[in-house]
Structure formats: C-alpha cells, structure tokens
C-alpha cells in the first residue's frame, strides 16, 4: 500500500488558549479538492486522513459532519482508500485534555458514530502516535495539559490507549472486517557512556508501553511497577490484558531522523541522528509483537542541495525492502505528508508560522523533488511487489461499483499492492499470518 498523508495535528498550547490546527495552517480547508487531486497525481492509492476531531465532535453524541461528508465523498469518487485518522494529538475544548478520564468512552462513541456514517471505510488509525501524544502532552509539557511528570504521563498514556482500544471495539461493531493500522513512533535510546546504560535501558523498555497495553501484552516487572507507582491501578492494567485486539491490527511504525536518542547518565536525552536506522529498529518491534508492518510516516526537510529529502526517501525504501527480504511482513509505505507543514520544526510549540519543507508538494502545491522521486518509485514498484512478495497481503476489501465505487471505465480501484484480492475472513490470526 503506497500512501501519503494530509497533516491533521491539532494540539493546544499556551495553557489551552491556542489551537494548532495544521489542516487550517496548511490551507487544506480551502484546497482539499486540489489536495486530493495531488494524491492521485503522485500515484498513491491510499491516504492517511481524518476529519478534525475538535471541529467534528461538538459534545456527547453531537457531531458536525459537514466537512467529513464532503471530503470522504470526494475520496470515494476518486477511488482513494483512506486510512482514517480519528485523533491526532488533540481533543475538543469541552473535553479538555488527555488527563480527562471521560475521554476514552466519549471517543469510542465518536468512533462508532463515524463508522456508522461512513460504513464503506475499512482501514483506521483511531489514535495516532499514542506514545508521542502522552510524552509531549504530559512529560515534556509542550501540548494540551502541559504537564511534566511521570504521573501525568502515565495518566495520559492509559487514557489514550484505552480510548484506542474502545474505539477499535466500537468500529468492529459496525465493520467486523475493519483493520487497524496503528501508527506509532518507533524509538531507540543509545547510552553515551557506561554510566548511562541503566537509564537507556529504562527508556528502551518505556518506548514499548503504548503498544504493549494496546495489544494486551504483559509488560516487564520494572515497567509494571512504574505504571502502578504513577497512578495506574491493577484493574486498569487488567483491562488491557482482557481486551486483546491484536488479531485486527497492522503495526504501523513511524521513523524519522529524530527517532534515535543519546541518553546521558542523569537520564537526559538528546538527538543522536540515524544510527541503527529503520530496518534494525523495525525488526526489534516486529520480534516483540509478530504483526504485519506498515511504514506509516517518514520525511526529511528539503535542504540547500534540493536532493536531501529524495535521498532520505531512497534510504527508507531500501530499509523497507531489507526487512521484507528478511521475512518481516511489510505491507505498506508512507511519505508524510502531502504538503509542507507549519512549525513542526518547533514541534508546534510556538506560533512562528515557519514552513517546514517536508512535503511532496510545497504550500503553493508545486511538486518538490522528493514528490517526483516518490511518484517514480510508486510507478516502478507498484506492479512488481505483489508478484514478488514473500510476505502476506492484507485482506483489504476494495469496493466495487456495487458497494459504492462510482461507475467509470475502469471498474477496479487503483492497485497499490492490495487491491482486487479474494475476500478473506474478517481478521488476521494472532502472530500476524494471513488467513
């Protein structure tokens, strides 16, 4: 599945007084038809995309579907398959932030209502990057609740992951063959001295917490103590063990040059740059969870030479092919995002209006060098991988005209490696093999 995404982050900063709505700041509310046409132009059959939660969920059971109705109808018309991103770093003002214990149930109700309104959708990322959401909001003090404590981090994490689990259950009530591509940041922490080995080991255990809870996987004793010492109850932990949703999941992992870190003896971290790379770190996560994998986010800024991002694209693709050839079932790749972004160079902490040149297209919707490189990569590999792949093929049920695809000369939707396959059972078994 070759994909891109339309950046829809919407956390709050400055004590909740300022909303960073990337759909607005990147011009998507005005140019969404143009943006979808660019997705087609680049050759992607799949799009990570979702409606703005803060504008759509107006209150318990109250929704404004106007924008979602228009945009998803256009995606259907264009035969672009959405991977629906329902919560991307922020919640509506009336919910407050991720410390609110009511958030999981409210979000699950929203996910159920969304699935009922758009029953033709099958692929979902209910909550994007759960680990980063909790980390930036409640330990680094950057977004939303802006806390800087272990208790705040654990509280945010347990609420975010529970919201994701309950949302998956709610969507499955409507669409029993739904597949959840859980986009999560894949991290690694390197010790910069022998005295830093202990702190680095703690960080390397902590990086798995969101997915351990999400997949109902028992965690190590040190992390269990950490969770209970910082506000998680035994009953809350047992909830995750008792709600094992793994069989419906693809492990989406995000990798950037900032995903690896140096740890000092006092536990402080700083960026290390690319040391191990995507293939090595993805293998660590795959060995832990044994699920099919999709590379769900990467990018790099276009620098003074103009080819830096395209070189990074090639390196990421080479890593994807490496892990596929080593037997890891990789089912998709994503350059994120379609257009440049605003202020991500500051992690959205400050409203400077600085354009981050990481898109396939710039803010004027002119294709960048990396956009042309990705367009060619898709054209070169799209028809090769399904025939040569030794790994599974996700049972994505591409809709036919009778299911709602608009009539046209070509009745098959674009095949990005998963289209037009025999109908499979509605779930993947434990361990990541196909039916």
Assess if residue 416 is contained within a domain: no
In this prediction, residues 307-332 reach a mean pLDDT of 96
pLDDT in tens, 182-192: 999 999 999 99
pLDDT the model gives residue 407? 56
What 3-state DSSP class applies to 322?
A: helix
Assess if residue 61 is contained within a domain: yes
**Residue 386: pLDDT band with limits 50, 70, 90:** low
Pick the closest to residue 257 from 309, 208, 182, 321 (CA basis).
309
pLDDT in tens, 56-88: 999 999 999 999 999 999 999 999 999 999 999
pLDDT the model gives residue 411? 38
Beta strands 57-59; 62-63: pairing state: antiparallel
Assess if residue 355 is contained within a domain: yes
Instruction: Tell whether the model's pLDDT for residue 432 goes beyond 90.
Output: no
| Phi-psi label, residue 77: left if phi above 0, alpha if psi -120 to 50, beta otherwise | alpha
Give the CA diameter of the chain: 66
pLDDT in tens, 12-26: 999 999 999 999 999
* Number of domains forming the structure of the chain: 1
For 267, the domain range is 2-403
The answer to whether 111 and 70 have CB atoms below 8 angstroms apart is: no
Pairwise CA distance, residues 324 & 202, whole Å: 29
pLDDT the model gives residue 419? 37
**Hey, what are 1's tokens?**
């599945």
Q: What are the backbone dihedrals phi and psi of residue 97, each rounded to the nearest 5 degrees, phi first?
A: -160, -170
Asked if omega into 430 is within 30° of 0 (cis), the reply is no
Instruction: Tell whether the model's pLDDT for residue 198 goes beyond 80.
Output: yes
The Cβ of residue 238 has, within 10 Å, a number of other Cβ atoms equal to 10
**Residue 408: pLDDT band with limits 50, 70, 90:** low
Q: What are the backbone dihedrals phi and psi of residue 58, each rounded to the nearest 5 degrees, phi first?
A: -90, -20
* Contacts for 296 with CB less than 8 Å, ≥ 6 apart: 3, 48, 125, 181, 183, 252, 253, 254, 332, 334, 336
The answer to whether 59 and 94 have CB atoms below 8 angstroms apart is: yes
Domain CATH for 127: 3.20.20.80
Assess if residue 147 is contained within a domain: yes
The answer to whether 115 and 36 have CB atoms below 8 angstroms apart is: no
Assess if residue 374 is contained within a domain: yes
Assess if residue 410 is contained within a domain: no
Q: What is the DSSP letter of 196?
A: G
**Hey, what are 19's tokens?**
């909303």
Cα separation values, 408 from 77, 79, 112, 415, Å = 10, 11, 31, 16
The answer to whether 415 and 279 have CB atoms below 8 angstroms apart is: no
The Cβ of residue 378 has, within 10 Å, a number of other Cβ atoms equal to 21
Instruction: Tell whether the model's pLDDT for residue 262 goes beyond 70.
Output: yes
pLDDT the model gives residue 404? 61
**Hey, what are 249's tokens?**
């999941």
Assess if residue 266 is contained within a domain: yes
Pick the closest to residue 247 from 290, 196, 197 (CA basis).
290
What would you report as the CA-atom Rg of the chain, rounded to the nearest whole angstrom?
A: 20
Pick the closest to residue 330 from 319, 345, 339, 338 (CA basis).
319
Residue 254 CA from chain centroid, whole number: 7
pLDDT the model gives residue 18? 98
What does 386-429 look like in DSSP terms, one character per residue? HHH--S---------GGGTPPP-S--SPP-SSSSS-----SSPP
The answer to whether 122 and 76 have CB atoms below 8 angstroms apart is: no
What 3-state DSSP class applies to 132?
A: helix
In this prediction, residues 124-128 reach a mean pLDDT of 98
To 10 degrees, what angle do helices 221-229 and 234-242 make?
130
What 3-state DSSP class applies to 14?
A: coil
pLDDT in tens, 279-300: 999 999 999 999 999 999 999 9
The answer to whether 378 and 333 have CB atoms below 8 angstroms apart is: no
Q: Return the H-helix or E-strand segment holding 3.
A: strand 2-5
The string over 55-84, giving b where at least 16 C-beta atoms fall within 10 Å of a residue's C-beta and e elsewhere, is bbbeeeeebeeeebeebbeebbebbbbbbb
Q: Return the H-helix or E-strand segment holding 82.
A: strand 81-87
Assess if residue 423 is contained within a domain: no
Q: Share the mean pLDDT of the chain.
A: 91
To 10 degrees, what angle do helices 150-174 and 221-229 make?
100
Pick the closest to residue 247 from 433, 44, 52 (CA basis).
433
Give the global pTM: 0.91
């Amino acid at each position: 599945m070759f994909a891109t995404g339309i950046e829809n982050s919407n956390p709050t900063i400055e004590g909740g007084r300022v909303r960073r709505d990337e759909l607005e700041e990147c011009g998507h509310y005005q140019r969404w038809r143009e943006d979808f046409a660019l997705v087609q132009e680049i050759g992607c059959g799949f799009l990570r995309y979702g409606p703005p939660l803060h504008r759509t969920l107006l209150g318990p059971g109250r929704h404004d579907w106007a924008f979602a109705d228009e945009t998803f109808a256009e995606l259907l018309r264009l035969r672009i398959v959405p991977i629906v991103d329902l919560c991307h770093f922020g919640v509506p003002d009336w919910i407050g932030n991720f410390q609110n214990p009511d958030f999981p149930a409210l979000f699950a109700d929203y996910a159920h209502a969304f699935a009922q309104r758009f029953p033709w959708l099958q692929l979902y990322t209910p909550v994007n990057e759960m680990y980063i959401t909790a980390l930036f909001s409640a330990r680094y003090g950057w977004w939303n609740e802006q806390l800087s404590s272990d208790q705040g981090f654990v509280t945010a994490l347990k609420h975010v992951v529970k919201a994701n689990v309950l949302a998956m259950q709610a969507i499955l009530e409507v669409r029993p063959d739904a597949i959840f591509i859980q986009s999560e940041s894949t991290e690694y922490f390197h010790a910069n001295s022998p005295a830093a080995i202990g702190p680095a080991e703690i960080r390397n255990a902590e990086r798995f917490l969101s997915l351990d809870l999400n997949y109902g996987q028992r965690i190590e004793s040190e992390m269990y103590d950490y969770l209970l010492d910082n506000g998680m109850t035994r009953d809350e932990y047992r909830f995750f063990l008792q709600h094992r949703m793994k069989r419906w999941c693809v492990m989406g992992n995000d990798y950037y040059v900032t995903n690896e870190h140096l740890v000092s003896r006092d536990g402080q971290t700083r960026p290390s740059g690319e040391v191990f790379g995507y293939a090595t770190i993805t293998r660590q996560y795959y060995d832990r969870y044994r699920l099919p994998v999709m590379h769900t986010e990467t990018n790099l800024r276009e620098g003074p030479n103009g080819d830096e991002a395209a070189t990074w694209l090639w390196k990421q693709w080479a890593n994807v092919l490496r892990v596929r050839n080593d037997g890891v079932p990789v089912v998709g790749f994503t350059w994120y995002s379609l257009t440049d972004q605003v202020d991500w160079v500051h992690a959205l902490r400050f409203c400077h209006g600085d354009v981050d040149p990481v898109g396939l297209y710039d803010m004027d919707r002119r294709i960048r060098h990396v956009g042309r490189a990705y367009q060619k990569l898709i054209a070169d590999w799209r028809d090769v991988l399904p025939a040569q792949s030794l790994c599974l093929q996700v049972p994505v049920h591409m809709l036919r005209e009778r299911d709602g695809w608009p009539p046209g000369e070509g009745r098959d939707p674009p095949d990005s490696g998963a289209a037009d396959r025999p109908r499979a059972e509605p779930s993947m078994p434990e361990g990541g093999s196909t039916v």
